[in-house]
Amino acid sequence: MQAILDATASQGEPIQELLVTHGKIPTLVEELIAVEMWKQKVFPVLCRLEDFKPQNTFPIYMVLHHEASIINLLETVFFHKEVCESAEDTVLDLVDYCHRKLTLLVARSGRGGPPEEEESQYSTPIQELQKQAELMEFEIALKALSVLRYITDCVDSLSLSTLNRMLTTHNLPCLLVELLEHSPWRRQEGGKLQQFEGGRWQTVAPSEQQKLSKLDGQVWIALYNLLLNPEARARYCLTSFAKGQLLKLRAFLTDILLDQLPNLADLQGFLAHLALTETQLPKKDLVLEQIPEIWERLERDNRGKWQAIAKHQLRHIFSPSEQDLRLQARRWAETYRLDVLEAVTPERPRCAFCSAEASKRCSRCQNEWYCCRECQVKHWEKHGKACVLAARGDRAK
């Protein structure tokens, strides 16, 4: 939350500086992949256990949400190149992570797009959790796209192993072309075009439909970085398949798009040249390179133990006593304070009496905001009755 506040205010970003200074980016990447593996290997087993009937599913939801929190933080701080450099060898693991998420995103769009956000018809808390996890996966994949684009901004400082992983092992340029073709962040609903932005689906006005979305822009910039950087271009093998995929981009490079991202004129020139170029055979050079190790290590260390891990966590973590649950709830309440969350939103609260920017809230009902004590006193004659009723309602709940 603090990192987002700093980025929004554009007044220095101490969180990013602290993460780099204390070498915490590799820790975050490892944690991100550990939660991803937990969701794939342990969570499904946990849901199938006969004695898994939790009274409260919030502790499990917080684990599911942890992956989204980390990728959100990484998206915020990876804007700065020194953060990418401080990731060191774990940037390989992060590239693999982003590739997994984007591959799932393309596969999902082939099945008709992301899951609907309609009210759940599911009857059990576990099914509701599974639905929430699936919805969250879509947003996580979009964040991974932004992180990948920021990594491509650092092509000049990436290791040869990382470049080879992006261009040869995963063939990211072709994957990005598929993303542009499917645009899973866009859909038709009731005859209207909708776009996923700011965490929700929003209807796009006809006059705005030609406007480049942030997600489309991320894909184009990543492609520009991977195809036009001299170091990357020298290492990318333009096979007949790659050439066929990349030439599909010409259909998207309209005058309207070029007006919005003028640098893409260079990409247009590259594609015109590519159309006349002979394709290359896949390279078979013997190359010694680093490989990502976090996923492999976690899987190797825990292979065959997923059932035991699920049972252990059910007993010791996801079946808290009422007292433990209250302590956890207090910690969460202190972490996710309403005043901090509201500070993240673009619209700041206004004083109920004079409409100035407000920083104090009515302590009884928590509904009205004031800029100072004097305004609260003056407004009490009007607010008092509603305040008492609201406070009573909260106590009844």
Paired tokens of 138: 């879509």
**214 and 294 in a common domain:** yes
**88 and 165 in a common domain:** yes
**85 and 8 in a common domain:** yes
Q: Is residue 118 part of a domain?
A: no
- The whole-number pLDDT of residue 42 equals 93
Range of the domain at 25: 1-113+125-237+283-302
The dihedral sign for the CA sequence 130, 131, 137, 140: negative
Q: Is residue 342 part of a domain?
A: no
Q: Is residue 317 part of a domain?
A: no
At a CB cut-off of 8 Å and minimum separation 6, what does 117 contact? 135, 200, 201
Q: Is residue 276 part of a domain?
A: no
Cβ neighbours around 129 below 10 Å, total: 20
pLDDT tens by residue, the chain, 397 residues: 777 777 766 666 788 888 899 999 999 999 999 999 999 999 999 888 887 777 777 788 888 889 999 999 999 899 888 999 999 899 999 999 999 999 998 987 755 555 554 544 546 777 778 788 888 899 999 999 999 999 999 999 998 889 999 999 999 999 999 999 998 998 888 888 888 887 788 888 888 888 889 999 999 999 999 999 998 888 888 889 999 999 999 999 999 999 999 999 999 999 999 998 888 776 666 566 778 899 999 999 999 999 999 999 988 888 888 888 888 878 877 776 656 555 555 456 788 888 888 878 888 777 788 888 889 888 888 888 778 776 655 554 4
Tell me phi and psi for residue 370, to 5 degrees: -140, 150
Paired tokens of 86: 């401080």
Query: How far is CA 142 from its chain centroid?
Result: 5
Q: Is residue 357 part of a domain?
A: yes
- The whole-number pLDDT of residue 397 equals 44
- The whole-number pLDDT of residue 115 equals 54
**198 and 101 in a common domain:** yes
- The whole-number pLDDT of residue 386 equals 79
**363 and 222 in a common domain:** no
- State whether residue 197 is helix, strand or coil: strand
Q: Is residue 267 part of a domain?
A: no
Where among 275, 302, 329 does a domain terminate?
302
The number of distinct structural domains making up the chain is 2
**130 and 30 in a common domain:** yes
**228 and 361 in a common domain:** no
| Start-end of H helices in the chain | 2-9, 14-21, 25-41, 43-48, 58-77, 81-86, 90-110, 125-152, 160-164, 172-182, 214-228, 230-235, 240-247, 255-260, 264-275, 294-302, 306-316, 322-335, 338-344, 373-396
**355 and 233 in a common domain:** no
**357 and 231 in a common domain:** no
**155 and 73 in a common domain:** yes
**290 and 389 in a common domain:** no
**79 and 20 in a common domain:** yes
In a 13 Å sphere around the CA of 234, the CA atoms on its Cβ side amount to 6
Q: Is residue 308 part of a domain?
A: no
User: Parallel, antiparallel, or unpaired for β 200-203 and 192-197?
Assistant: antiparallel
Paired tokens of 174: 């072709």
Q: Is residue 106 part of a domain?
A: yes
